[in-house]
Structures are given as structure tokens and as C-alpha cells.
Amino acid sequence: MSAVLRPAPSLEPMSEADLRAVVEIEESLYEFPWTLGNFRESLRAGYGCFAYREGRRLIGYAVLLLAAGEARDAAEAVPVYLRDKVALKTSERR
């Protein structure tokens, strides 16, 4: 038996180049998904927009409203096996 190792997941700032993949994930998960325009406006407005990656592959995202030392989750999609790790990394960024 041989193990298949996944690249360590990373949390990085989202960029315009990520938006098509983010929208594909959003549309696959939600009945009333955010649009490309919603995500683009969030980036331009300065919301905390993050991309979760395994290697170069986008596997999830988060959009946070940051104000008064607090963050509120506006949109997110994270693989189940990463949820605990992502919560820790997001809190470390404050």
C-alpha cells in the first residue's frame, strides 16, 4: 500500500484571477449563489477575500467583512476535512 500525500493547504489573499473558479464552486453548492459581480465588488471594496489552495488548485474561499476588530463571514466554501485548520489559520491572521 502506498500513501498519496496532498499538498499542505494554504490560505492566501484572493485575486481577480481566482474569481471564475470561486464562482464555479459557489454555483455548485448554493441554490442562490453569489455572482461574479458580487465577488468582484467584495474584492474592490476591500473585504477580507481569501482563497484556500491545495498546491495550485483552488479548493475553497472565504469573504469576510472586517470592522471594529471583528470579522463576519459573508461567504465561504471549505472542504469538510479542512474546516478546523482553516478556522485556526483565519484567527491567526488577525
> Does position 90 have pLDDT exceeding 70, yes or no?
no
Angle at 28 between CA 3 and CA 84, to 5 degrees: 50
> Does position 85 have pLDDT exceeding 60, yes or no?
no
Secondary structure of residue 94 in the 3-state scheme = coil
Per-residue pLDDT tens over the stretch 8-54: 788 899 999 999 999 999 998 889 999 999 999 999 999 999 999 98
- 4-18, 28-42, 53-67, 73-87 — which is least confidently predicted? 73-87
Look at the chain and count its residues.
94
- Domain around 57: 9-92
Residue 69 carries which DSSP code? T
CATH of the domain at 25: 3.40.630.30
Best mean pLDDT range from 2-11, 58-67, 74-83: 58-67
Please report whether residue 1 resides in a domain.
no
State the average pLDDT over residues 62-86. 71
Instruction: Choose between 40 and 80: higher pLDDT.
Output: 40
- Count up the domains in the chain and report the number: 1
What is the model's pTM? 0.73
